[in-house]
Amino acid sequence: MLDLGLTLCAAVARDRDALALIDGQQRLTYGALHQVVSALVASFDDLGLVQGDRLVTLLQNRAEAAIVHWACQLAGIVVTPLNWRIKADELDFCLADAEASALVYEAAAVDAVARSRLAPHRRRIALDAGSGDPPWRDAVARSASPAAPRAGAEQLSVLFYTSGTTGRPKGVPRRHRAERAAAVAHVTQNLYGRAERTLGVMPLYHTMGVRSLLAMALIGGTFVCLPRFAAGRALELIASEHITNLYLVPTLYHDLLEHPSFAVSDVRSVRKLGFAGAPMTDALLRSLDAAFKPELFVNHYGCSEIYTLTVEQRAANKPGSAGRAGLNQLVCVARLNARSPAELAAPGEEGEIIALLASDEAFDGYWRRPDADANALREGWYFTGDTGYVDTDGDLFVTGRVDDLIITGGENVSPVEIESCLSLHPCVAEVAVVGLADARWGKIIAAFIKRRAPVAPADLDAFCRASGLADFKRPRQYVFVAELPKSPVGKLLRRKLVAGEHDPEAAPPSDAKGMLT
């Protein structure tokens, strides 16, 4: 298996004059990319960085983030990308946990770096002037011989940190061979062809963003940077740069369709759609299929630990289906609370999704977290913490997280089915379903609705009844909100709804909250 440094060198030999990166007016061919990456590798040497060191980045999706990522692959340094919105205490945790040697950051993260206890003791490169740290321009403007790969396929490529929704984030170390295998699978499963152009908006501290970057190098493709998501700007780039494929979380697709200029935007160049990170509602699937008329519409179900779990290449034809195991994977559904992979759920029975750790795309275990390994890694299988079931066709349906299951009156209820039902109501723009504490039922089902047009709780309840939703799954409470709480990559944060941390509608009408029986 090739390492990622060799992967970049192969891309340069094969497609030297093809465009690798576009960021505003900056346009780098693969040959030019190798030149600037080589200069940065030489600067890493001057800083005293050696193979195996961890280098933290706090960068938006700009060309520099891609350059740092590739430079680390060539130098054998473990890139450790963090959310550029990070707070100082969170940065200190990750710097200490990763035992990071260096930090590359931009202006948006200056405050966190300034307030950090540990950052002053790390070697630093600043992208923007005025920080007092060595500037980026000096690091990449130097003359340097073409860098040769120093890492092997078994060495670590990247150390991701999970979002930490249930506590401190966990480090997910991934080897060169696993990262490359995941990129090859991404190309294959999304049917990417030569010289594709992708919108590089999924963060490069997230596995989806990194996969898009690596995949383009395999096919002589172009990564078009969008530093932070804005639907209007995304539509402009799709038209002006002739984007051929999109790989986004459902929230960003929703925002594209809802933008006022979508109807007059030229999106004809986009022929392939892919989504991951969260289930997509039936209504959004239908709308996207009608709007883009894609040749391929892929639901990719995966995670940071094992990139591909399952793939559904006909997402719009079978709403809700996550398809079948990817080409490097074997997936099963274990019974809820099972301790062994041998305890399998029956077809149609909801359980916990588990995946084989022998996959070429899999990690080996969490970074210095034996407690997390003991909880998630059992007998050669990864217990994902996701719930789902396999239907009579053999296709997987992901119903949520084990922690998201709502136990009401002794019944297990998944939020996803209810959300898909309510999403089809014409007055519902977005919906999230959670369980709220109740003295009688344990939990009651509550639906938080962002409305497209006025609608009352009684109307939504009647819609659920008419849709055939089982009585015990009907929401007993409706709350109308201005926005649903989401993570920086667009994932719904249900815990904030449970905790009451949501944004109510401005000047709510009398029906802004309703209890039903």
- pLDDT by residue (tens digit) across 426-453? 999 999 999 998 877 888 999 999 999 9
**Tokens matching residue 349:** 């029975």
So what's the pLDDT on residue 357?
Answer: 98
Q: What is the mean pLDDT of residues 245-259?
A: 94
Ranges 278-287, 337-346, 406-415: which has the least confidence: 406-415
The H or E element that residue 79 is part of is: strand 78-82
| Domains located in the chain, CATH noted | 405-515 (3.30.300.30)
* CB neighbours of residue 441 within 10 Å: 18
pLDDT recorded at residue 517? 56
Mean per-residue pLDDT, 260-283:
94
Residue 208 burial (CB count, 10 A): 23
CA angle (396 as vertex; 391, 399 as ends), nearest 5: 100
> What is the per-residue pLDDT across 469-502, written as a single tens digit (0 to 9) for each?
888 899 999 999 999 998 877 778 888 898 888 8
What confidence tens digit (pLDDT) does each residue in 215-235 have?
Answer: 999 999 999 999 999 999 999
Token pair 């465009």 in the structure block, residue: 19
Quote the pLDDT of residue 130.
Answer: 66
pLDDT for res 509: 47
Integer angstrom CA distances of residue 415 from 184, 253, 406, 410 = 33, 20, 7, 16
Whole-prediction pTM: 0.86
Rounded average pLDDT over 313-323: 95
297 Cβ contact partners less than 8 Å away, ≥ 6 residues apart: 272, 273, 274, 285, 288, 289, 313, 314, 315, 316
For the chain, the first-to-last Cα distance in angstroms comes to 60
